[in-house]
Structure 1
C-alpha cells in the first residue's frame, strides 16, 4: 500500500525494525523540542542518537521511494496506485514546489506506523478475549460456518457477519489501542464541558474512559459483543459519531482517523480467518491476563500466549 510493490521478507523485516525503533524512542526525544539551543549542549548524546535514528530511517525508505519514482516515470499502466505515488505528485501551492525525499520519508513512516501498530495491538486484544471467553469464540465460528465459507474468507463475506463486527467493536471499546487521541488546539476562546479554554489551548480526549463510562455502558468492563447486536437487545452503532458519541477510538468529526474503514476491514478479516482456521485455547494452567502496559499504544503487559489447533468441521 505504501510503496506499490511486494517487498521481500528481508526488506519487510528491515522496515519493521527501524519503524519499531522510531515508535519506542519517540517519547525519549520529546524533551529536545524545548529550548533546542540548550539541549544541543546539555543533551548532545541524545541529539546524536536522534540524528542516527533518522539517518537509518532514510537509508531504509529512500531507495524504495526512488524505485517508485522510476517506476512512475516508466508509465507502467498496470501498476497499482500507492501512497508514495500520491506524495510524489503532491505540490505545495504556497511554496510552488513538490515534496523532497526527506519529507516523503516522514509521511511514509507515519503512514506505516499509524496503519500497523494500532491495528496489530487491537487484534491481539480481541484474540485475547476470544481465548478468555470460549463461548464468544464458538458463537463467532458458528456464524462464519453459516455463511458457507469453503476456503479463505473474503472481503464480501465479511458483510454477512454481524456478530464478527460486534466482536471487533467491543474489542475497540474495551481495549482501544490508544487511550488518547492526538492533541488538538482550539482556534478561539471557548467553553467546553464547563471549562474555559483559551485560544491556542491544547485539548485532548480520554477515549478509553469514554468507552468505560458506566452511565453510558452497562457493565462497561465486561466483554459483551451482544451490546452491538440489535437482535440481542443491543443497538446498531455508528462509530463515526455522526449521531452521538459514546466511544471514539478513531476520533470523530472532520479530523477523525482517515484509516478507520481500512482498520475495521483488516480487523474483521484477520479475526474471521484466524477463528475459521484454528481453535484458540488458553495455555494449560495459564489464565489470559488483560493487564495493560503503555508503549506507543496500550498493549498487553503479558503478550498473548495461546494453544491453537486446526479447526475441524
Structure 2
C-alpha cells in the first residue's frame, strides 16, 4: 500500500517541477503586456485578450472597470484581442489629455468591422480619423446647422414639434402617460425635419424611427461579429445576415428622402427660389460636399451614414436625458414646483408657450438640466479616442494602436468633486458657480463631461442644451406631473443608458383653458 501511494504522487511532483521551470515562459508569453510601461491592469491572453472582458455584457462592463480602478488607480489597461484599451476615471488626467494635449489625443482607434460598414468606411464625424475628412464634416455641420443664425431659423420647427408633443400629451390628460414614447417621437419629428427639410407624416416618421432604433438596440447583439470576423462570417452567418438586413432596411427608408430632397433643390434652383420658401436642411449641405483627399462628392451610402449619425445624435440622447430629468421632476415635486415658479416669474400669465427668448432668464431651469446631465448622463463613456503617435499620460505610455476611454459617469459622481453626488440637487449649479456660468465644455477644468471635451466634443452640445431647456420648460409650464407609484431610477443600457422601468406619470393641465376648443 505504501509503495502504491508513493508511486501515485510521483506524476504530480514531476508536473509541479515542470510547471515551476516553465512558469517564467508562461508568464512572459501569456501575461506580459505587448507594450512596455502601459497603465496597470489585469493579466491577459494574447490574441484573445481578457476572457472576462469578452464574456461580459455592456451592462457588466462598467462595474468591472470600477473594480479595476479601485485596485489599480485612475488609469488602467485591459486588452481586447491584441489591442490595449486604456480607461481613465480622473478629471485631471482627462483635462491633461483632451484639452491640454487635445491634438495628440483627438484621433480614433481603427474601427471594428461593423462600425466600418455602418459608417461607410468612416465617412462620418464620429468615426473619421483626425484629419481633413473629419474637419470637412465637422466644419460643414457647424456652419450649416449649428451656427447661431441657422439654429434660430429652426425656431418655427421647434414650435411645431412642441405642439405635436403637447397635443399627444393633452389627449391623455388625467391619464397615465409613458413619457419616453412621446419624447422619442417628438425628437424624431424635429431631427427628421432638420435633416431632410420636410414635415413628414406620422407613418413616414415611424419608418425612420423604426429603422434607426432597430440598429441602435441591436448594437450588443452584433458585438460578437467584431471578433475573428472571417471565421465569424461562417460561425455567425445568420447574425451577419441580420446585420446586413438592418443596414439595407435603413438604406431603403433614408435613400428616398435624400433623393426627394435632391430633386426639390434642383427644382428650387430652376425657379430661382422665387415661388417657394426653402428651409435649409442638413442633407442639402451633404449633397454639395466634396471629399478633400478623393476629390469627389459623397455617394449615397456615405450620405446615409451622415444622416443616420445626425438623427441618432439628436434624438436618442436628447429623449433619454429628457426622460431622466422628468423622472426627477416627478420624484421630487418640490423641485418641479420651484422650477414652475421660476417660469411663472418670466412668462406672462395665460401664455401658451415658454419661448426661446425666455430661457436666458431662467437660471434654475439651466441648473436642473445640468444636474440631470451630471446625475444621469445618457452615455457613461465618450467614444474611444486614440493618439496620433505614441504619447505619455501620468507617466504611462499611450500606444498609437490602442484606444483611450474616459468614464463620464464616474467623473460626474466623484465625491471628491461633488458633495453627495448621487443626490439630485440642482442648487449645486447656482450661487458662485451659477448654471449660466458653468463651463460645460471643460476648457478651464473638467468637473463633468456629458458631451465630451476637447477637439472631439459633441459639436451639437449647444443645440442639445437648447432642446432640453425649451422642452423641459414647456412641459412644466403646461402640465403638473405626478408619479404612478414609486419612481424607479434603476438603469439599463440600450444605445444610451436609459431607465430600466420607463417613467409613468399622471399629468394634468395647469391651464385648462388652453385645451378647451
TM over 0.5: yes
Q: Does 1:311 align with 2:510?
A: yes
Calculate the TM-score normalised by the size of structure 2: 0.58
Write out aligned runs for 1:17-36 (5 A).
17-36=210-229
Distance (Å, rounded) in 2 between the aligned partners of 1:232 and 1:30 = 41
Distance (Å, rounded) in 1 between the aligned partners of 2:432 and 2:443 = 22
The alignment covers a number of residue pairs equal to: 311
Displacement after TM superposition at 1:31 (Å): 2.7
3-state SS, counterpart of residue 2 of structure 1: helix
* Match of residue 128, structure 1, among 321, 324, 327: 327
In structure 2, runs of 5+ residues without a counterpart are: 1-193, 513-517
CA contact (8 A) 2:320 2:498 kept: yes
Over 3 Å counting, the alpha-carbon distance change for 1:171 and 1:215 in structure 2 is same
Over 3 Å counting, the alpha-carbon distance change for 1:118 and 1:232 in structure 2 is closer
Distance (Å, rounded) in 2 between the aligned partners of 1:234 and 1:61 = 39
Q: Does 1:102 align with 2:301?
A: yes
* Match of residue 111, structure 1, among 310, 319, 344: 310
Displacement after TM superposition at 1:250 (Å): 0.1
- Over the residues paired in the alignment, what is the CA RMSD in angstroms? 1.7
The answer for the alignment partner of 1:45 in structure 2 is: 238
Displacement after TM superposition at 1:27 (Å): 2.5
In structure 1, runs of 5+ residues without a counterpart are: none
3-state SS, counterpart of residue 176 of structure 1: coil
Structure with max Cα Rg: 2
The answer for the alignment partner of 2:440 in structure 1 is: 239
The answer for the alignment partner of 1:83 in structure 2 is: 282
CA contact (8 A) 2:363 2:435 kept: no
Kindly report structure 1 stretches of 4+ aligned residues shifted beyond 4 Å: 231-235
3-state SS, counterpart of residue 196 of structure 1: strand
* Match of residue 292, structure 2, among 79, 93, 102: 93
Q: Which moved more, 1:40-49 or 1:131-140?
A: 40-49
3-state SS, counterpart of residue 203 of structure 1: strand
Calculate the TM-score normalised by the size of structure 1: 0.95
Distance (Å, rounded) in 2 between the aligned partners of 1:62 and 1:243 = 43
The answer for the alignment partner of 1:65 in structure 2 is: 258
Q: Which moved more, 1:239-248 or 1:229-238?
A: 229-238
Distance (Å, rounded) in 2 between the aligned partners of 1:56 and 1:112 = 16
The answer for the alignment partner of 2:205 in structure 1 is: 12
The answer for the alignment partner of 2:377 in structure 1 is: 176
